[in-house]
Amino acid sequence: MYKRFSRILLSLATFSMLVACVSAEKYTNMIHQWIGQDEDTLVASWGAPTSSYTTDTAKYLTYENLKQNYIPPTPSSVQVIRQGDAVFTRPIPGSPGYVYMTDCRTTFTIQNKKIVNANATGNSCYL
């Protein structure tokens, strides 16, 4: 039973990674569609950037999406196993709750009021 459960978890993890890759690719394709657009159009659509930086040759507009998430604890339980006339119990431990962070930072490079590049970093850049 443990091996079967492990295979199921491995399959789910693999599937989740594939879905995340496809979704991240969609996000990258979406932000690349902004290349060639006006800076003002971007700001009108996305709002004010979280931060910006200007050099002699370019301006960089960064949008950040940072979230704190909480997974609640799971209670412990007991599994009852019957083998013939014998009954056994097996404790199943619970798990503590935990907090985790997700983030996505999208930066657009602007030259002459036009978007010339876009990139994203983080663990939650997906559509």
Share of the chain above pLDDT 70, in %: 83
The pLDDT score that the predictor gives to residue 5 is 45
For residue 16, is it within any domain?
yes
What tens digit of pLDDT does each residue of 70-110 get?
999 999 999 999 988 999 999 999 899 999 999 999 999 99
Strands of the chain (E only): list them.
Answer: 51-54, 59-71, 77-83, 86-92, 98-111, 114-122
For residue 127, is it within any domain?
no
Q: What band does 24 get if pLDDT is binned at 50, 70 and 90?
A: confident
Task: Give the structural domain span for 48.
Answer: 2-122
For residue 84, is it within any domain?
yes
The structural domain count of the chain equals: 1
Q: What band does 30 get if pLDDT is binned at 50, 70 and 90?
A: very high
For residue 31, is it within any domain?
yes
Whether pTM exceeds 0.85: no
